[in-house]
Amino acid sequence: MGLERTNRIRRMASSLVVTATEILGSSKIGFEFPSQDAMSKYLKDHPKAKKENHWVQDQKPKKNLQENTPKTEEKTEDSGKTGKFRVPEHKLLKFKMDGDLGNLDNWRARIVLGNSMGKDKKVGDMDEIGYVAISTVNDEILPIARADEHRAGYELLYHLQEKGAIRSRPQDFITLFNGNNYPHYTTKDTKAYASAVKKWLACGGPNACVHSQKNGKNYVTDMEEYAALGGDVPYEQKGPSKGGREILDHLEGAIRSLKEGRDREALEHAKKLADRLEVFGSYTGYPKVFVDELDRMEKDRDTSGLGKAVKAVAKDMWDHLKEERAYKYSYAPGLFGTGDDADKRLEKAAGADIEPPKKEGETERPRLSDVGRNVVDHLEKAAKAGTQEFGRGIDRMKDSAMDLILDLQPMMEDVDDLGPALERLHRAMAGEDSDEIQQVLFSYNGVKNLLHQRLRKLMVDGVVKDKHFGDVKSAFEEFERLGQI
């Protein structure tokens, strides 16, 4: 019995060894070896064994922290080395995302919390995207519905963390916006913010504005420069930031091309100028009229009014910057610098001669009189101020009104009903009701229409030169243009 029992035990042990060998060689069960040599010998004897399932004593690999995290969907768009991104996949979340971040205006996300929701929306609806949360520790991004953007989207991020819907912690995300971005409201870690900005750009995101602030000092630039500087921006720099330099360079480029008679090249400079002005509109004035004029020119393939438009926007920026320099806490120096380089360049651009050299035998083009030009400028400034949603629009309109009234005093005898119209404008300026800006603008239009009618009549009568406005045709064209503002 003793011998038979011993043999039976040996057979069982042999069977267990074979089973263990099969398990170790083909399953996910791991085995610890006393040394690297022992592990290497085992792997050599068992070529089917998976090396990653075994380890040397005291060198067990750390558990993969992402093994039990939510599944994610990989977007294959790649705008560069770090251009790939993932969005979380969870029952709470739903996205419609065509293309990369460059197509952000067409992206949509399901409303989860509705903490910033309007009356026309409800939780579960698909909504436009405002902020996009960019993880600083992995490739995860989260487009945030406009109706979920309370606290710049962080309230949603903490909610999703509680539900196990995201891999990164809320504090590892930076939320960015296709508009003005303010690092100092988000984190003290400017390098992390810059890292998120780099990922935004690598994923095709627009080169938006970054307004950085520290100890009351400001620096306003675009995402490209902020990322390149790693968040370490030069506060109180004398010269303009990258964004400011591009505005000035394209403005001067447009003027230079116009003077050399290269209108198409001037239009390209003007379009790039308009793009930068839209990005930095809060710091330069509001260029909607300029942008609309360029769109019309390109559509009509007619650049005849480009010179006037470029000079007008140069003057508007110069006026705006002069006004901002007078305020102690203005943000404009963050874009244009604390020195006077930008001021001098804008002044020069506003007064530049944009006419190309006359060809041999060509006569000088007729022009408005100085008074006529002043009247047009006052009316244009008021019209632009009336389109501003923010800032000191009413103050600008009132300043222009006083100058306009003085310039038009000598014309009252020649323009029917001009006296009463100027009186109405003066009264409207003193109004203190909630609709005063509309009243002033209405009164401005009354004055403008009277002058326009007179010029129209002069055109019909064949009058070439007017004692007040100078060249009648040029003046009439200017008032036609004002009618589009």
Q: Give the pLDDT confidence of 169-185 residue by residue, as tens digits.
A: 999 999 999 999 999 99
- Say what the pLDDT of residue 233 is: 96
CA distance 297 to 71: 50
CA distance 18 to 217: 74
Give the number of C-alpha atoms closer than 13 A to the C-alpha of residue 366, restricted to the C-beta side.
14
**Strand, helix or coil for residue 129:** strand
DSSP state of 1: -
CA distance 101 to 116: 23
The backbone torsions φ and ψ at residue 8, rounded to the nearest 5 degrees and listed phi first, read -65, -40
- Tell me how far the alpha carbon of residue 33 is from its chain's centroid: 58
Concatenated DSSP letters for 224-264? Answer: HHHHHTTT---TT-SS--HHHHHHHHHHHHHHHHHHTT-HH
- Say what the pLDDT of residue 484 is: 62
CA distance 463 to 472: 7
- Say what the pLDDT of residue 368 is: 78
Look at residues 303, 309, 243, 300 and name the one whose alpha carbon lies nearest to residue 277.
243
Amino acid at site 308: K
**How many C-beta atoms lie closer than 10 Å to residue 351's C-beta?**
11
- Report yes or no: 452 and 479 within 8 Å, Cβ to Cβ: yes
- Say what the pLDDT of residue 361 is: 55
Q: What stretches in the chain show pLDDT beneath 70?
A: 1-35, 38, 41-83, 286, 356-366, 385-396, 399, 430-438, 484-485
Q: How many angstroms separate the Cα of 314 from the Cα of each of 318, 325, 331, 343, 481? A: 6, 16, 19, 11, 17
